[in-house]
Structure 1
Amino acid sequence: MSLQTRYPTFDPAWKKHSTGGWYTIPCPVCGTPDAVTWNARSLPGPAGRVPVCRECLPAQRDTWSERVAVAVDQGPRMWNADAAAWHANPGAKVAPVAFALADGVGDDPEPQWIAQLAVLRVAVAACHEGSVAAIEDARRARDEYYETVGAPLSQRGDTVLAVVTPLERGYQAAWCGDVRVWAYTDGDLNQYTIDHTAETELLEAGESPEMAAQYRNRVHRCLSIGDVESVFLGPDSDLILLTSDGVHDALTWAQMRQCMAEELSKGTGAAALRGAVQSLVRAARAAGGRDNATAMLIRTS
């Protein structure tokens, strides 16, 4: 059986019900067709976990469930185009687990659908192919779907996203767009990704921060276009954080670090991880953020 048969597909039958119904995907472990049912409005499984069929569920019992936390706030937007998912597959060839976060470009059902399916597909594929290849696979699948249905470019949904997978020592993060990957170690928060935006290009060209900030949300790399970039996170990274721009655009680095420090001073158990991501999205909303806000936090050991 081809690995591709195990990946969630860009399926028009699912799209029809993406605003609140249920849809089915093949089991990402054994590949059995239509074996997993999921509600499109919810996160995939507990704390964002990609669901598997009942036969594969016993083999999925591991410690990751207590080491991952996700918080999502739709805010005043009409649609929640943020999505986060993670998938554990101890028998996979490349990585035993993968974590993904996406932010659909726009405020309508099409980017919401693309973001939701992208994180499901990328989280599953990254275990078998690695983080960079997983994003490139999702790009091909998206393009093939839109070519098949003959959708004009103006009606094609798009998303920015990032995926993180463990290496033999440390972690690799791959991304396109302005989803950010951070490491929180010994009370310090460090950003590892660079936003693929016009703002970044203007700052590198020497423009003033005030002028460049006007172009903060103009991304020039996303699922549909641009190179996928990757970065290495060292094995000393205690916690890995992924955020959508609804979090990190609304908060300063110092505010994000304070949210993390206050909650994680209680420890790094499951409750503390949930408290940290919830604190981040609440603070983003309190700061006046009007975008979808999503944070995913992973304890690496």
Structure 2
Amino acid sequence: MVGTGRQGHYPSWHTASAQGPRTSNADAVGAFAAAAGPGIVFALADGVGDDPGAAKAARTAASVAVRTPVAEGPVAAVLAAQRAVRELGGTGDSVLVVAMPTAGGYRVAWVGDARAYAWDGFVLRQVTTDHTLAEYFRAQDQPTAPHMEHIVTTSVRTAHENEIGTAEVAGGGLLLTSDGVHKALTVAMMAAILAEPGKAAAALTETAIAVGGTDNATAIFVEPPPSDLVTDRFTLAA
């Protein structure tokens, strides 16, 4: 699944999702620009598990989050997604990352291990911190085991408001990924792929599966705005 868009003066953006070896694709993305709003809200959700309930929770979380008014902020978007997922009944759950536009950047909120990265055209910088058991123990300077990387400590259904992570991206581009991308690829590999922005989202997901990824792989890439700077050669006086 691949998508692309450009609305008016807004930046170009691209999405892609690959099911991989899972029985279903429980990842979901959303993008929405309110009429006369300040920009596009982006969301990426990753269902917890490999079943229809997880997929439905992810789709619900992403679609509700992006329709939260920008003035209310990204934390409100996560909480709106939480109410919607709980109203579904059952046990379906997901992790979620939301990015809302600000003047020159984005405000980000997340639960679980969906990630946001800032991209300036050269350097890819992670701005979220995974809410996983492994990350919790690392913060306590305690040893971790590989399986802890896949155990989330917050989710859309379960998180309290004070547990929702927040960050800001100032200028440049934006990358949102599910763990099927960022746990299969290194930051250096992702940065090299972003050098070809028109194909970046699809290339990230395809590469993640190609190198042996065993999860759904999904990405949203928002290209950096064109630079207004003009450079020219000049000679310095001796």
The reply to whether residue 229 of structure 1 matches residue 165 of structure 2 is: yes
Structure 1 gaps of 5+ residues are: 1-41, 50-59, 147-154, 264-271
| % same residue | 36
Structure 2 residue corresponding to 1:142, chosen from 85, 89, 98: 85
TM-score, scaled relative to structure 1:
0.69
Q: Helix, strand or coil: the match of 1:125?
A: coil
Kindly report which structure 2 residues correspond to 1:196-275, keeping only aligned pairs within 5 A, or say none: 196-208=131-143, 211-226=144-159, 227-235=163-171, 238-261=172-195, 263=196, 272-273=197-198, 275=199
CA distance in 2 between counterparts of 1:109 and 1:128 reads: 33
Kindly report which structure 2 residues correspond to 1:174-185, keeping only aligned pairs within 5 A, or say none: 174-185=109-120
Kindly report which structure 2 residues correspond to 1:2-41, keeping only aligned pairs within 5 A, or say none: none
Q: Helix, strand or coil: the match of 2:147?
A: helix
Match of 2:40 in 1: 97
Q: Across the two proteins, how many residue pairs are aligned to each other?
A: 222
CA distance in 2 between counterparts of 1:164 and 1:287 reads: 28
The change in CA–CA distance for 1:194 and 1:61 in structure 2 (over 3 A counts) is closer
Match of 1:172 in 2: 107
The reply to whether residue 280 of structure 1 matches residue 215 of structure 2 is: no
The Cα of 1:255 is off from its aligned counterpart by 1.4
TM-score, scaled relative to structure 2:
0.86
Structure 1, 135-144 or 247-256: larger mean CA deviation: 135-144
Aligned residue type for 2:204: L
Match of 2:215 in 1: 291
The reply to whether residue 161 of structure 1 matches residue 161 of structure 2 is: no
The Cα of 1:126 is off from its aligned counterpart by 4.3
The Cα of 1:128 is off from its aligned counterpart by 5.5
The reply to whether residue 123 of structure 1 matches residue 69 of structure 2 is: no
Structure 1, 199-208 or 109-118: larger mean CA deviation: 199-208
The answer to whether the 8 Å contact 1:202/1:212 transfers is no
The Cα of 1:85 is off from its aligned counterpart by 1.2
Match of 1:9 in 2: none
Aligned residue type for 1:241: L
RCO (CA 8 Å, sep 6+): is it higher in 1 or 2? 2
- What is the aligned-residue RMSD (CA, Å)? 2.0
Aligned residue type for 1:67: S
Q: Helix, strand or coil: the match of 1:156?
A: coil
CA distance in 2 between counterparts of 1:291 and 1:115 reads: 15
What are the Cα deviations for residues 164-213 of structure 1, in whole angstroms up to 9, with x where unaligned?
Answer: 011134210111110100011141110000000001012112234xx333
The answer to whether the 8 Å contact 1:126/1:165 transfers is no
Q: Helix, strand or coil: the match of 1:100?
A: strand
The Cα of 1:63 is off from its aligned counterpart by 4.0
Aligned residue type for 1:213: P
CA distance in 2 between counterparts of 1:299 and 1:279 reads: 15
CA distance in 1 between counterparts of 2:35 and 2:65 reads: 16
Structure 1, 136-145 or 239-248: larger mean CA deviation: 136-145
The answer to whether the 8 Å contact 2:113/2:129 transfers is yes
Aligned residue type for 1:191: Q
Structure 2 residue corresponding to 1:114, chosen from 41, 52, 57: 57
